[in-house]
C-alpha cells in the first residue's frame, strides 16, 4: 500500500480517480510524494493528514461509504480530512480491501 500527504505537490505522480473526494470519476494526474506503507503499519492522525491511498502492485476493492468499487492497481483514491481508511489484505474479495468511513471524532 502507498499513501500521500501532499496531493498536488511533490516529486512523484498520483493518478487519482476521484480528485474531489467523491464516489464519481473525476480523474486528475496530480503531483504527490508516494510513501510505502508495509503490512501492519499505519499512517495518519495527529498532525499527519493522509490525502490519498493506492495499492501499486494489486487491484483493490473499496467500500466507499457503502458503495463497493473495484480499482486497478496504481489508481489513487482521495479521502477527505474527516474520513478514515481501514485496509486489510483479503475480506473475501481475493484482493486488498479498504473501507472509507467518516471520522467519529
Q: What's residue 90's pLDDT?
A: 66
**What grid cell was written down for 4?**
500521500
Q: Count how many residues are written for the chain.
A: 105
- Radius of gyration over every alpha carbon of the chain, rounded to an integer in angstroms: 13
Return the closest-CA partner of residue 76 out of 62, 92, 93.
62
Residue with cell 500527504: 5
Return the closest-CA partner of residue 79 out of 20, 24, 32.
20
Q: What's residue 97's pLDDT?
A: 93
For 33, residues 6+ apart whose C-beta sits below 8 A from its C-beta are: 4, 5, 6, 9, 10, 11, 12
pTM of the model: 0.91
Q: What's residue 105's pLDDT?
A: 53
Domain range summary for the chain, segments of one domain joined by +: 2-41+48-102
pLDDT tens for the 105 residues of the chain, in order: 999 999 999 999 999 999 999 999 999 999 999 999 877 777 777 778 899 999 999 999 999 999 999 999 999 999 998 898 888 876 678 899 999 999 875
Q: What's residue 88's pLDDT?
A: 87
For 74, residues 6+ apart whose C-beta sits below 8 A from its C-beta are: 15, 54, 55, 56
Amino acid at each position: 500500500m502507498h499513501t500521500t500527504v501532499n496531493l498536488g505537490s511533490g516529486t512523484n505522480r498520483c493518478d487519482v480517480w476521484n480528485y474531489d473526494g467523491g464516489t464519481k470519476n473525476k480523474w486528475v494526474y496530480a503531483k504527490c510524494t508516494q510513501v510505502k506503507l508495509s503490512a501492519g503499519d499505519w499512517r495518519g492522525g495527529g498532525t499527519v493528514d493522509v490525502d490519498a491511498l493506492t495499492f501499486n502492485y494489486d487491484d483493490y476493492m473499496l467500500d466507499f461509504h457503502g458503495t463497493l468499487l473495484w480499482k486497478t492497481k496504481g489508481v489513487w483514491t482521495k479521502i477527505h480530512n474527516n474520513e478514515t481508511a481501514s485496509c486489510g489484505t483479503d475480506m473475501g474479495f481475493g484482493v486488498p480491501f479498504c473501507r472509507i468511513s467518516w471520522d467519529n471524532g
